Every structure is written in structure tokens, then in C-alpha cells.
Chains A and B, each alone.
Chain A
Amino acid sequence: MRSKLAPIAVLAVATLGLGLAGCSTGGGDDGDSVTISLGSWRTEDIAMWEDEIIPAFEASHDGIKVEYAPTDTNDYNAAIQSQVEGGTGPDLIMCRPFDVNRAWIGDGYFDSLADLDAVGKFSETALAAWTGDDGTPYCIPVASVLAGFYYNKAIFDEVGVDIPTTQDEFLDVLKTIKDDGKYAPLALGSADGWQLGYNVLYNIGPAYWKGEEGRLGLIDGSKKLTDPDFVAAFAAYDALKPYLPSGYESLTYDDMSQLFSLGQAAILPDGSWNINQVTSTGLDVGVFGAPAVDGKRYQQEMPDMAFGLNASSKQKEAATEFLEWLATPEFEQLYVNKLPGFFSMSSNTISYDNPLATEFAALKDGAELTPRLALDRLSAGTPPLDDEIWRIAQLMYNSDLSPEDATAELQAGLDSWYTPAG
């Protein structure tokens, strides 16, 4: 029986419950200990932070409690933006690399970290992704990631192929596996544009555009995407098309990882962060780097994440202590070994327990390093080059878009807003 009282009673009860529920806020003083919150887009790391890293920090830092508060990566930018603009947000904000972060720096989200000891532990290149235009560091680097090709050792043995070192060898390997018929040569789909850029084009591309030479050339305007080197890179990317599994247009990054880890595909172009996933089913997995061009090898190394100090944080002292701790071997050793595939960026000597991580890190030897092509300065306007590359890369696999037309379109988009920094 609903009477007029019933809804009012419900409302009263609800309000009461709210009064109790709404009392708590995140962070603040708790007797004599302080709680700081960490904002991040890495939801899959919760277990590791809560069980290993945070206890290690709290053990050596009395009176500070840490809360790891991740947000799904799709919502992360929006959540941070809304919260910080509204005046709240976590005390420590995980920083996206390069342009997105520069915008946040420009909007005043962060406090300068120039006075921290931790900064001295990192090279200028390491800090570059998180430095303001005036050279002030705003985030302490945490980890970098590498791009490479995971391969299923058992399949390679069975089909009888070796690790390729040149593009021709690579295509040969793919063809042999495809002709064999039992396995998919590449676990690669085009539903997720970002990985076509990050893990495929930016993986094999640097050998053609000569790493930093090409990237910096784009930035200062001396090079264009329509130059032969870049077109050749896009052509090499396109050459993989015949070896994609059927229905690849709908295959997401998740599907690719599953396909590989279930033993149904031979090679997975991927980032080093995925080590745990690809080895989760017990496969014998190795990794090889992008093919060399003219005998020279290039390796993508991307500064991936860092932590910055929220300018409106109410616990700056405690948060700064945490930032200093991020540059210690204690933290780094713990972090990179609990999360294999993430590599330390400081000058500390770190040892890696995970054999696959060590193998991945070894890819850096003898290769020239370069970060992802389009995230630094080339994505600060509309259309952002990085997003456009995702879209074009997708179109190249999903339609007949040629490398020449693709690069022409990209360059036109860049030219519409970008003035090269002389």
C-alpha cells in the first residue's frame, strides 16, 4: 500500500543512510597518519600495488598511507580533467607522455618538481616526455616500455622457421607459416587502431625513417611524411596484410592476445607490458625485434608513465616523499619485477628476474632507440597526428588505401595546423 508517507519515509531513511555514507571522503588526516591517493589508468595493476608496493612504502615511511585509485584508461583523461578543474583529484597523478601532458602542464594541473632529489636520477631524455616548455620537470618517470614481436617457439620449431632479421626474411617466415596452414602467421587485427600504430607501424617503421632522425625531422619540418623513407615504412606495414587472420577487421587487441596465448598464432606484434598475458597459458614464448634495414637496427622505447604532483593536493609533503621514493632502487626493483615488461628509466642498476623481460630488454643492445613517432608535439592540434595514424593504419588494412595516398593524407592533416618548431 503506497500512501503519501511511504515515499517520504523512504526518503528519510535514504537521507539518513546518506548522512552516514557521505561522511567519508578520500584522503585526509586519520589520527596521526596521512593518506595520499594515486590516480592511474592501470587498473590491472591494483593487485600488485596493494599487495606489494604500497606495503613496502608504508613500512619504510611511518605515518603515510597510500591509496591506489585507478580509473579505466578510456575514462582516465576525462576523470582527471573533471576532478582537477573542479579542484580535487588524486594527490599524485599518473602522467600521459608528451603532448597530452603538456596540455595539462599548461593548464596548471601540476606543481614543479625541480627541487626534488629524484630528478637528478634521470637523464634529460628520460624526463623529456614530462617536461614543460621551459625545461621544468613536472613528473617523475616510473617506467618505459618496448615494442617487439612475441613468437611461439613451439610453432617456429614445428614449421621450421628461424627468427627473421630483415624484412624479406620476415615476410618469408610469414609465408611459410601461412602455407603450412595449421596456424595463423600473425595474431593481428585492425579493430583497435592504437595498437596498429604503437605496436606495428612504430615498431617496424623506425628502421625506415631512421629513428630520431626521422622523428625530429618531422618536428622541425625538415622531413615530411611523404618522403621516400616514410612511404617505405608504410609500405612495409602494408606488406603484412596478406598474413592477417580472416575476419581481422573485427579482431580487437584482446582477441589478438588471446589468439596468441591459446597457441593458435605464431607471431604477436605487441608491447613489452603484455609479458604476463602471453605467458599466462604456459607457452614457450620468445621475442624478436623489428627487422633491420641496411643492417641497422632500431628499437622503439617509449617513456610510458610517470607521476606528477597535483597542484591542489592537500598532502603535498607526504606526496613529495612518495615521489622521492620512486627514484630509489627499492621501488624500481620491486616495480619492474612485479610488472615484467616495464623497464626502469633511472640511473640505478636494476636486475630483471623475468627471463622474457630480460630478453626484451636485450633488444636494446646494438639498436638505436626512439620513442613512438607522433606523440611529441605532432599531436597537440587538430587533427592530432597520432590519432590520424591510428585511423589511416586501420584504413590501410581495411581498404585499398596505398602507402602514397596514406602518407599524403597524413601530411596534409599535419600541415593544416602544425608549424614546425625551428
Chain B
Amino acid sequence: MDLTGFPILSVIIFLPLAAGLLILVMPATKTGWVNGLATTVGAVDLVLALLLYFSYDQVAAGYQFIEKMPWVPQLGISYHVGVDGFSLPMVILGALVVLCGALVSWNVDDRPREFFAFLMFLGTSILGVFASLDLFQLFFFFEIAVFPKYLMIVLWGYPKTRNYGGMKLTIYLFVGSMMALFGVLVIYFKSGLNTFDLLALDQVSFAPELQRWLFPFVFLGFAILGGIFPFHSWAPDGHVAAPTAVSMMLAGVEMKVGAFAALRAGIMLLPEGAQYWQTAILILATINVVYGALIALVQTDFKYVIGFSSVSHMGLVLIGMATLTKQGLLGAGMQMFSHGIMTALFFAIVGMVYDRAHTRELSALGGLGRKMPWAAFGFIVAGLVSMGMPGFSGFTAEFPIFVGAWQVAPWVAIIGILGVIVTAGYILLVIRRVFFGELPPALEKVSDVSRKDKFVIALLSSLMVALGIFPALLSDLISTGVAYILALVGAG
């Protein structure tokens, strides 16, 4: 299909923004319109993203669907978007989670217009980052997410902890982005090219000494959003305090935005810096994997288990990236997608359970498999993905990461694999705790999930199974993007 000339990426990116503004001015009583518009936008974006997927030329590879327009010529900033094999799956993921997030939020009755508008802004921010080929623009979209995140958590989140969780998350992430901003400015200055264009900056060889001290600023700054240890504690508190759709977006996609930006602006622009700091990052990321899993094991709050499991799984993404190998990067790309869907489903189901049981304490839950079979099924599927069980997308993602780790630092693989078994432990325990066993009397009247919820569960579950059985659906695409990254890094 010939898409030349039609600015499809811009449409994908800005459609949510336009919808959000429109939603703000809708009449207060027409909640149905608000719900409908948000969901439709999510669906349209997903369809367009899939259109990109099918139109992408894997043989030619490289960045495609490029649009470029001067923005601030005096500073060498342009509006420059495009996707390659690595970012296209992320765009699909973003649209998918926006859609699912909108679907599970139809029951928000407190100021739904603001809620959905902020959700839409968040969507634009995410999609913008993934498609950005200009460093300023990337940062621009990255930062736009700050205020929707904060407001959505403190206004619609879990009342007891939302102020703390929201502020902690926002400040932590802002610190990270400010660090990154500093690094970005230094890159801009030192490149001598007076441009923010990523493609041009990719080709610049910065002095090794510069790269060594600059890399932590840029990489860590963005990786904080990815949940790197020890700067991860915002994630469990923030995600748990957030309303369901926001948790889905935050853990499902926002954390990937962080890792993605760390890759784009950190590793790809400062490859020698990445090599120099490789061991340190691997250590931190491995701690993520194991520590996150161990902490999840001892949680008593259903949502916190999932929160910490996200920290653990993002560690795998960071390991994959840090190995700077073909398989590692492939695995990182697959894991970003797989974990995105998985954790979105996890949080969606946690939300469904909480809406009905009004508690998240594991000790107060039980036997819900009988009352909410769809939720149980979805949670089990997501759980199996989380454990890295073959047949599901988690395995096809984790396996290459470990192969990459083997090439660079075998101990990472050996220690990291412990995370797998601990994950299996806490996942199975939680499944049993929540969905099997005795049904407490307080939960007798719990109803099953709605049709929209079932749709979300079915959609996300089938994607995870499909990717597990046919990894080639994404792996070939991602590999083309990986090749470009490796060329920059200088490895083979």
C-alpha cells in the first residue's frame, strides 16, 4: 500500500491530542460521547499503526514513513518523525494500550472529561517519543507526559496514597528527565553541528572522554523512567496509587518510553560511553530482575505484586539493551512489547478485581476464579508470560536476551535466571491466593467482568499467545531495526 505523502505518523501522534481537546469542551452530561470518542481514537490509532506494520518494507529496513518540517531553524530543530523496525512495534503497543486503557475506564464518573483528555495527552506524548527523529522533539514529547501523569494519579487514584505516590513518581521522573536534558544539551553543544536531528547526531563521533562522563546523565536520566535500580522506587508506589488505566499506561508503555529513550539518546548517540558503562548497567539491571522478583514475593497487596514485577521485567529489557548484541537487542525489543501487553493486562485485571472486591489485600481475596472466570484466565495467561513460559510471548522475548547476555557476561544470565524461578513462585502463589481456594463471604456478591473487559482480556491474551507461537510476527521486524543500532555501536 502506497502511503507516500499522507502524514500517517503525524495523524497517529496527534489524533489523541485533538480528541483530548475536543473532549474537554464536550457537554458535561454526555459521558457516553467522551467514552466513545476516546475509545474510537484508540481504535483508529491502532488500525493506523497496524497499517504501518503491514506497509513497512522489511527488506529496505531503516526509517520509513518519514515526515520532516523545519520547526526552529535557528537551533537546528525540526519536526522529524519516522519509524524503524525497533520503534514500530512500540507505536503499535502505545496505540493498543491507549485503546485498552480507554475501554476499562468507562466507569470513571468523577470528571470523566478531564480524565480522558489527560489520557489522550498521555497517548500523544508516548506515540510522539517513539516516532521522534529529532532529539529536541523527543524530549518535548517526553516531558509533555509530566502533568497528565501527576494529575491523573492525584485526582483519580487510590485515595489513601495518591498524593504521596503521585508526587513521588512525578518528582523522581522529573529529576531523571532533567538529568537527561542536561545531557542532551551537552550533546547538542559538543556535536558542533547545531542540529538536534537524531540521524545526523547518530553519525557524530564524540570524544571518548566526553562520552564516558556524559553517558550516565543521558542514559540514567531516561532509564529512571525505565525503572532502573536503585532509582525504581517511584514505580511501585506510583503505579499502585494510580487509577487502573493510568497504571496500564505507566507500567505498560511509559516505562518502555524511558528504556527506549535511553537507547535512542544514550546508547545510539554515545556508543563508546555505553561500552564503558556496560558492566555497571548490567549489574544494576540484573539486580532489578532478582531484587524486583524477591520483593514481589513478599507483598501482601495484590497491586504491589504487579508493581514490583514490572520493575523486575524492565530489568530484563535493560539487560538486553546493555549487552549491545544482536540477540540482546532483539530480546529487549520483544520484551518491551510483550511485557507492555502483559502488565497492561495484569493491571486491568487487578482493577477489575478491586472494583468488585474493594480490597487489594491478598489475605482478603480468594476463590475469585469461580466468580470471574475471564479475569482468572487472563491473569493466568499473563502470569505464564511473566514466568517466561514457552508458548507465550514472555519466553520468546526472554530467551534472546539471555543469549545476548551469554555473549557478554555469563554471570548475568546465571543470576538473572533466578529471577525466572522466583517469578514463577510469586505468580503461582498469587494466582492460587486470589483465584482459587475459598471464596470469602464478603465476596459472595461479586459480579463477573463486563463485555468490554472481556474484549480487553481476549485481545491481549491472544496477542501474547500468538507472539509466543509465532515470534516471527515481530522478531523479523525488530531485527531490521537492531541491525541499524548495531552498526552505530560498532559491534557485529
A binds B: no
Chain A residues engaging chain B, CB cutoff 8 angstroms: none
